[in-house]
Amino acid sequence: MPRSQGVALSLFWRTFVLLAILLGSGIMAWVWTLRSLEFEPRAVAAAQQIASLVNVARAALKNTDSINRVAMVKTLSVQEQEAMRIAPHEPSDRWEPFEEDRFTRVVAAELHNRLGPDTIVARSVNGHAGLWVGFGIEKDSWWLQTELGRVRALTGPTWFVWVGIALLATIFGSVAIARLINQPLRELSFAASRIREGEFDSRLDENTMTSEIREVNMGFNRMARELAKVEEDRAVMLAGISHDLRTPLARLRLEAEMSVHDEEAQQNMALDIDQLDAIIDKFMDYARPGDTKLKPVNLAQVVEREMQGFRDPTTIRIAHKVAIDISVMADEIELGRVFSNLFENARRYGRSIDTGIALVHVTYARTGPWVIVSVRDHGSGVAPEKMHQLTTPFFRGDAARTAATGAGLGLAIVEKALARMGGALELDNAADGGLVAHVRLKRAP
C-alpha cells in the first residue's frame, strides 16, 4: 500500500525543476533588461548614421553647380553596391510614413531633431521600399534612399534563437547540477537498501570534499559496522541458546521415560518437551539470517512434501490444486518453512466449529510475473481490526489464540521468509468464513 496518495517527485526531479525555474526566470529577466537597454541606443545610433548620410549628401549637392549636380546624382544612383541613392523629390511622388511602431517612431523623431522639422521620413516612395529621407537644398527637394535594415531593431526570431540557446544551456546545466547534488544521496539510499536487506558490508566514501556529506558517510559506516557486530553476536547467542536448551531437554525426556511410571504423565511430559523444542525451532527460524539463494523450485512438490507432515485426519485435512508444472524463484527450504507454518497456523486456529477439523484448501493463480498461492482454512476467521497485527511476533488475536500452545511466531516467520525471497504475504477473511493467506512469489523464467 502506498504511503501517500499524492504523486511524489524524486529529489533529482524536484532539484532539477527548481533550478530550471530559477535559471529560466533569470534568463527572461536578463532578456527583458537587455532589450530595454538596447532599444533606445540602437534607435539613436541608427538615426545618427542616417542623419550623417543626409548631411554628407546635402553638403555635396549644395557645393555643386546645377550641371555637375545632375551628373553626380546619376553617378550615385548607378552605384548599387553602396545601397544608397539620391533622387529628386517630385510633387507627384507618393510616399508612406516611416513610423509604424515604437522603434521607428523614435528613429523618425531623432531624424527630425537632427535634420529639421521639415524633414520627411518615409518607408516607401512610389512603391519602392526603403528608408527614404526627404530634405531640401535652397528651392530643390531631394530624396535619400537607403536600406531599411540599417534602422531595424532586433527581430523576434533573433530573440527566439538567443533565448532558445540560453534555455537549452539552462536545462543541461540544471541536469548536471541536480545530478551532482543528488549523487551522494543516491549512494546513501542504495547503501541503506543493502543494509535493510542484511548486507552490512556497505561502505560510503569518507574522503569526499563536502564536509557535511563526509560526516554523514562516516556516521553511516560506523552504524553499518555496529549493526554487523550486533548481527554476528545475535547469531552466536542464538546458536548457543539452542544448544544449551536442547541438552537439558534431551536429559528431561530420558529421565521421564526411565523414572515416570505413569503412562499418562509420561506422555504429557513428552508433549511438553516437544512443545519446548518446537518453540526453540520457531525462535531460530524467526532469527535466521537473511541470506537466501533463489533458484527455480517446483511449487507442487514443496506443497505436497509439507502436507506429509500433517497426516492426522482428526485435526487437519489439506487438499491442493497446484499444477505440477508451476515453478517459482525461491529457496526450497525457506519455501517449505512458509507452507509448514501456514498449515500449522490453520491446524491450530482454523478448525471448523462443527467438526473440530481444520479443512485447508491450497489454490494458485498466475498474475503477470507473479504466482499467487492461496492457503485457506474454514475456521472463524479474524476480526478485521486485528488483521494487520497477525504478523506481529507473539501476537494472538483472540481467546482461542491466547489459549493456543504456539510461540506466536508462525505468520511472522512466513512474512519474513517471503520478504527474503522477494515475495509478500497478504491476509484476509474469506467471504463465507475462514482466513485466507495469499502468498506472492516470482515466477521462474
pLDDT surpassing 60 at residue 80: no
Domain boundary at 108, 133, 157, which?
Answer: 157
pLDDT at site 399 = 43
pLDDT at site 19 = 77
**Which pTM does this prediction carry?**
0.48
pLDDT at site 403 = 43
Residue 416 is assigned to a structural domain of this protein: yes
Residue 35 is assigned to a structural domain of this protein: yes
| pLDDT-above-90 percentage for the chain | 12
Residue 131 is assigned to a structural domain of this protein: yes
Residue 281 is assigned to a structural domain of this protein: no
pLDDT at site 443 = 92
Residue 41 is assigned to a structural domain of this protein: yes
The number of folded domains in the chain is: 2
Q: What is the dihedral of CA 184, 188, 189, 195, to 10 degrees?
A: 160
Q: What domain range includes position 363?
A: 295-442
For residue 304, what pLDDT band results from cuts at 50, 70 and 90? very high
Q: What is the pLDDT of residues 166-209, one digit of tens each?
A: 777 777 877 777 777 777 878 888 888 877 766 777 778 888 77
Least confident of 93-107, 299-313, 372-386: 93-107
Residue 393 is assigned to a structural domain of this protein: yes
Locate cell 534431551: which residue? 250
pLDDT at site 442 = 93
The more confident residue out of 141 and 329 is 329
Residue 208 is assigned to a structural domain of this protein: no
Domain boundary at 104, 138, 157, which?
Answer: 157
Domain boundary at 108, 131, 157, which?
Answer: 157
The more confident residue out of 277 and 287 is 277
What does the pLDDT average to over 394-399? 56
Q: Tell me the average pLDDT of the chain.
A: 78
The more confident residue out of 191 and 371 is 371
Residue 391 is assigned to a structural domain of this protein: yes
**CATH code: domain of residue 330:** 3.30.565.10
For residue 426, what pLDDT band results from cuts at 50, 70 and 90? very high
Locate cell 510616399: which residue? 95
**CATH code: domain of residue 46:** 3.30.450.300
pLDDT at site 4 = 41
Q: What is the pLDDT of residues 219-275, one digit of tens each?
A: 888 888 888 887 777 777 766 766 667 677 777 777 777 777 777 777 777 777 776
